Amino acid sequence: MATGAHAFTGVQLRHLDDLLEGNPTITFQFNYGDVAIGEWTGPLDRPTPWTMPPELSAIVWIDNRFPFTAAARVNPHARRPVHPALTRTFQTAGLAASPAAK
């Protein structure tokens, strides 16, 4: 699975990592001409880390800006683990391992 974000959203790899690790994160984005940024009500305690479903072997984040870097987050509990050759490709390409798997 590959994921990334359109530049307009401001979502970055660190947001995915925070979701995987259960880090409390609040991000606000403002732009000239915004008449309202909306509101959100939610718990302020530490969120539960998101657990990848066992059907998902990995998430590959592809940055939307040149030079289009990528990072891999491998699911340590996948039913079908990432093939070793692909894991070597991640490592050779310098793609980071999953923070949750460390």
Q: How many Å apart are CA 31 and CA 52, to the nearest integer?
A: 33
Phi-psi region of 52 (alpha: psi -120 to 50; beta: other; left: phi over 0): beta
Q: Per-domain residue ranges for the chain?
A: 1-25+45-102
- This prediction has a pTM of 0.61
Pairwise CA distance, residues 61 & 63, whole Å: 6
Q: Give me the pLDDT at residue 100, please.
A: 44
Asked if residue 52 has pLDDT above 70, the reply is yes
More confident residue, 57 or 102: 57
Q: How far apart are CA 16 and CA 5, in angstroms?
A: 10
Positions of E strands within the chain: 2-3, 58-62, 70-74
